[in-house]
């Protein structure tokens, strides 16, 4: 429904949501610079989460 905004992208100067309006867009109209900036917003938090994550499935294999 586009509520979280995680898939938001600007296409032809208009905001679209891949989950609602996509997933196919004219690649010539997509603002890739903005999309790349949006992908970088939570890079630090993602890295911290990955470092702190303990996979329970891997722990089961070591038992």
- Look at residues 14, 8, 4, 3 and name the one whose alpha carbon lies nearest to residue 38: 8
Predicted pLDDT of residue 30: 96
Series of mean pLDDT values for 10-residue runs along the chain (63 residues):
85 95 94 93 92 88 67
Predicted pLDDT of residue 63: 58
- Look at residues 23, 40, 30 and name the one whose alpha carbon lies nearest to residue 9: 30
Predicted pLDDT of residue 19: 92
């Amino acid at each position: 429904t586009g509520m979280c905004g995680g898939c938001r992208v600007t296409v032809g100067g208009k905001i679209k949501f891949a989950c609602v309006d996509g997933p196919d867009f004219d690649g010539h109209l997509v603002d890739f610079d903005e999309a790349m900036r949006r992908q970088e917003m939570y890079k630090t938090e993602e890295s911290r989460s990955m470092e702190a994550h303990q996979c329970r499935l891997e722990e089961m294999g070591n038992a």
